[in-house]
Chains A and B, each alone.
Chain A
Amino acid sequence: MRAVRLSLVTAVATAAALTSMTACTSKSDASDGDAIQVTAADSTCETSAKTVPAGQVTLKIENKGSKATEVEIVFPDDRIVSEKENIGPGTKYTLTAEIKAGSYEIACRPGMKGHGVRQKLTVTGANAAAKRDPALDQAVAQYRQYAQDQADETVPLAQKFADAIKAGDLEAAKKAYAPSRIGWERTEPVAESFGDIDPKTDTRADGLEQGQKWTGWHRLEKALWQDKKIGAEEKTLADQLVADLKDWQQRVGKAEITPTSMANGAKELLDEVATGKVTGEEDRYSHTDLVDFKANVEGAQKAYELLKPVAEKNDAALTGELDKQFAALNTVLDKYRTDKASYDFVSYDKVGKDQRKELSDAVNALAEPLSKLAAAVAK
């Protein structure tokens, strides 16, 4: 089944260019150089202008509330353009950012959490980005939230893992290893998009580049299961793992996420399963591959389900097949745990050749249609 491309992308881009040309002459509430006054309080967020010209945009922020706040300029899909965290009660801050034409929001987040209080901001001028289907923006925003949740949940689990290592408790550390990876494995393509975090946290012995120091989960996995000892080096590495994961947690909000990258990310998670987990290469010392396997599938399924409303309109046969194959793969995976609510999976060294073949067949059956999801949302 092949999607037929409608040559609309060019048309839309042209229309957008024309619109922005006219927009240049339209009136703005704030002229170039004028700052937008942002008055943040515990439940309000007032802005002095709703429309500004493209270019350097300045926010003069004042926190009149009782809690520390955070002010962000965000894209329609919730990606952060620029932000200032931890603005204390009664303090002021000036935030400047280079912003292209388009629709944005200014978010004040009292207490530095939650969705925050928001105001629209329209930036006028040339080079506006083509508008996307709002349903896709919503999918991206929800996926970003999911990725953030995974990072937020992972950090304390990684801390628990690190604490056990630092206490020299081999058994507790082994127990905490696989759970500390679940959130990461669910959203690995987002983490990998930063480029510098994944090599520090998730490199396998064979993935090291010349001169690269081996750090992260798998280095510790080897210490726990193969070397069966915890030394000073491992304790330092455990702290570093937590620090690197906190870096990831901080940056999820700024990740470049698009509907296409979500769809491809879902497929990449299945690729990860096919190349690393089915073969037992990922967790070669602990044999906890099935935990990572399940997390990869869950993350792929989340991305798919968020994109499904749009994909279904374009290619209902594809989404029907994907629903079926996700269910089929999950059914096969469930054979390897007794409690469907737990992540206690059978050790992968106990999974025989025929069983691995069955898992591999189910992965292929899902990954093939999943490779067509990006086209179904890019139409």
Chain B
Amino acid sequence: MTETDTPEPGAGGQTGAAPSRRALIGWGGAGLALGAVAAGGAVALAKDDDGADRTDTAGAVEFHGAHQAGIATPVQDRLHFAAFDVKTDDRAEFVQLMKDWTAAARRMTAGRAVGEGAYGGLAEAPPDDTGEALGLPPSRLTLTIGFGPSLFDKFGLKDRRPAALVDLPPFPGDNLDRSRTGGDLCVQACADDPQVAVHAIRNLARIGFGKVAIRWSQLGFGKTSSTTPGAQTPRNLFGFKDGTRNIAGTETGRLEKFVWVGDGDGGAKDAWMHGGSYLVARRIRMQIEVWDRTSLQEQEDVFGRDKGEGAPVGKAKEHDEPFLKAMKPDAHVRLAHPDSNDGITILRRGYSFTDGTDGLGRLDAGLFFLAYQRDPRKGFIPLQRRLSAHDALNEYIQHVGSAVFAIPPGVRDAHDWWGRTLLSEEA
């Protein structure tokens, strides 16, 4: 729920082509059938679909890169976000989990089933993959991992905790539910098909049993931000376009300046974070019914925009440069604008959520706010200090969940794995 200044840019992210999950399964299935024939005297062939044709990758986002996908990638329609607690105290076991998760993430983001697939294996054993994404395209699935402050209390990592990974301070008006706050790890799964996103988290959680356990998770059904230039800014559940000026995936310069951790950030100690980022997640409950009884004038005053077009007060178009002084002093846009915050700019990737009703006949709904930044101390924290103290919107919202994560750099290639720069002895 913040407003930042970014020109709307050109297409970002790496959308390519991939065969459908069904086609790939078919390939794997054929391999298995051959194996069964050969098995009279020998071991069945392992299912190997790494030889599958990769030239056609429609709907798949490249998993490998200098930065993790799912940040600058054009925002997908759906979210399943999960925070995990680490249950093991064995560092080697945790490292192995990171490798196993990376392998599974590599497959799922390419539209492939986990392990040896969802069927065709031993009848006596449960299949490796849970199966609900069979036949669905990759759906631009991205999986992005993060490390929470509490992770650094484990595995002798205390000295590796980056200076920028501070615990978020309490903000006025916070009403945080402990069971929706914090976490040693997070995985953000974004996809254009909700079933693909849910499948990804479910399978990672399953692989993690005994090593990690889900602490909390959040489904998001409607994107509220765009990192694609020219795209309509999606409306939030208050019916407004908010955060119309996001950082675009193609704006390399702004990404370097505001999102990616730079070479010297935090000194040599924090070098492992180079190419990474910091994520702040906030579950923001909206008082939907109260808002809906609010007059149009009040609603528009609160945001500082008109409801129809989304234009700033006194302007004609959504993307017109706002004239902040024309807005009420406590208008959301005015307070969140970089000009009011020494140029602070963050990349937002939030989603609307509705978790049914709250037992009092009211929608349990709001914004699951996700913001990526180079340093929360120069991003979310000062911004939220200001907003939590003055924003007119506070009358209609409440922050009920909160977490912060260090987002390590991207997985470089087929041999690399999530968190290697932090955890590898030879890193």
Min CB–CB distance A371 → chain B (angstroms): 5
CB pair A368 B210 closer than 8 Å: yes
CB pair B126 A371 closer than 8 Å: yes
Determine if A325 is an interface residue (Cβ-Cβ < 8 Å): yes
Determine if B323 is an interface residue (Cβ-Cβ < 8 Å): no
Determine if A5 is an interface residue (Cβ-Cβ < 8 Å): yes
Determine if B179 is an interface residue (Cβ-Cβ < 8 Å): yes
Determine if A17 is an interface residue (Cβ-Cβ < 8 Å): no
Q: Which residue of B lies closest to A259 (CB)?
A: B124
Which residues on the B side are within 8 Å of A2 (C-beta)? 115-116, 121-122, 125, 128
* Contacts of A344-379 to chain B: CB distance below 8 A: 353, 357, 361, 364-369, 371-372, 374-375, 378
Q: Which residue of A lies closest to B207 (CB)?
A: A368
CB pair A4 B126 closer than 8 Å: no
What band does the interface of chain B fall in when counting residues whose beta carbon is under 8 Å from A?
20 to 34
Which residues on the B side are within 8 Å of A367 (C-beta)? 209
Determine if B134 is an interface residue (Cβ-Cβ < 8 Å): no
* Contacts of B35-69 to chain A: CB distance below 8 A: 36, 39-40, 43-44, 46
Q: Which residue of A lies closest to B211 (CB)?
A: A365
CB pair B116 A353 closer than 8 Å: no
CB pair B44 A364 closer than 8 Å: no
Which residues on the B side are within 8 Å of A6 (C-beta)? 39, 43-44
The 0/1 profile, CB within 8 Å of A marked 1, for residues 97-118 of chain B is 0000000000000000001100
Determine if B87 is an interface residue (Cβ-Cβ < 8 Å): yes
Give how many A residues have a beta carbon under 8 Å from the other chain's beta carbons: 26
Q: Which residue of A lies closest to B179 (CB)?
A: A353
CB pair B122 A5 closer than 8 Å: yes
Which residues on the A side are within 8 Å of B121 (C-beta)? 2, 5
* Secondary structure call for the A interface: helix
CB pair A7 B126 closer than 8 Å: no
CB pair B124 A260 closer than 8 Å: yes
Determine if B213 is an interface residue (Cβ-Cβ < 8 Å): yes
Which residues on the A side are within 8 Å of B87 (C-beta)? 361, 365
Determine if B206 is an interface residue (Cβ-Cβ < 8 Å): yes
Per the bound structure, the CA–CA distance linking A375 and B121 in Å amounts to 10
Determine if A256 is an interface residue (Cβ-Cβ < 8 Å): no
Determine if A323 is an interface residue (Cβ-Cβ < 8 Å): no
Per the bound structure, the CA–CA distance linking A368 and B87 in Å amounts to 15
Which residues on the A side are within 8 Å of B46 (C-beta)? 4
Determine if A321 is an interface residue (Cβ-Cβ < 8 Å): yes
Which residues on the B side are within 8 Å of A353 (C-beta)? 179
Interface centre among A6, A260, A325, A367 (most CB of B within 10 A): A6
* Secondary structure call for the B interface: loop
Which residues on the B side are within 8 Å of A325 (C-beta)? 210
The 0/1 profile, CB within 8 Å of A marked 1, for residues 199-235 of chain B is 0000000100111010000000000000000000000
Which residues on the B side are within 8 Å of A371 (C-beta)? 125-126
Interface centre among B36, B116, B122, B213 (most CB of A within 10 A): B122
**Given the contacts A2-B116, A4-B46, A6-B43, A364 and B126 also touching, CB distance less than 8 Å:** no
Min CB–CB distance B106 → chain A (angstroms): 17
Q: Which residue of B lies closest to A260 (CB)?
A: B124
* Contacts of A136-155 to chain B: CB distance below 8 A: none
Per the bound structure, the CA–CA distance linking A155 and B266 in Å amounts to 69
Which residues on the B side are within 8 Å of A341 (C-beta)? none
Per the bound structure, the CA–CA distance linking A351 and B135 in Å amounts to 43
Per the bound structure, the CA–CA distance linking A7 and B33 in Å amounts to 12
Which residues on the A side are within 8 Å of B44 (C-beta)? 4-7
Which residues on the A side are within 8 Å of B85 (C-beta)? 361
Q: Which residue of B lies closest to A2 (CB)?
A: B116
The 0/1 profile, CB within 8 Å of A marked 1, for residues 304-342 of chain B is 000000000000000000000000000000000000000
Interface centre among A3, A7, A372, A374 (most CB of B within 10 A): A7
Per the bound structure, the CA–CA distance linking A369 and B46 in Å amounts to 21
Min CB–CB distance B36 → chain A (angstroms): 6
**Given the contacts A4-B46, A325-B210, A365-B209, A372 and B126 also touching, CB distance less than 8 Å:** yes
Q: Which residue of A lies closest to B115 (CB)?
A: A2
Determine if A232 is an interface residue (Cβ-Cβ < 8 Å): no
* Contacts of A1-24 to chain B: CB distance below 8 A: 2-7, 10-11
CB pair A7 B213 closer than 8 Å: no
Per the bound structure, the CA–CA distance linking A374 and B121 in Å amounts to 13
Per the bound structure, the CA–CA distance linking A365 and B97 in Å amounts to 14
Task: Report which of A3, A357, A364 forms a contact with B122, defined as CB distance below 8 A.
Answer: A3
Which residues on the A side are within 8 Å of B210 (C-beta)? 321, 325, 364-366, 368-369
CB pair B39 A7 closer than 8 Å: yes
Interface centre among A353, A357, A361 (most CB of B within 10 A): A361
Which residues on the B side are within 8 Å of A374 (C-beta)? 124-125
Q: Which residues of B contact A (CB under 8 A)?
A: 36, 39-40, 43-44, 46, 85, 87, 115-116, 121-122, 124-126, 128, 179, 206, 209-211, 213
6 A-B pairs besides A361-B85, A366-B210 with CB distance below 8 A are A2-B115, A7-B36, A11-B40, A325-B210, A371-B125, A378-B122
* Selected A-B contacts with CB under 8 Å, 19 pairs: A2-B115, A2-B116, A4-B43, A6-B39, A10-B40, A263-B124, A325-B210, A361-B85, A361-B87, A364-B213, A366-B210, A367-B209, A368-B209, A369-B209, A369-B210, A371-B126, A372-B125, A374-B125, A375-B124
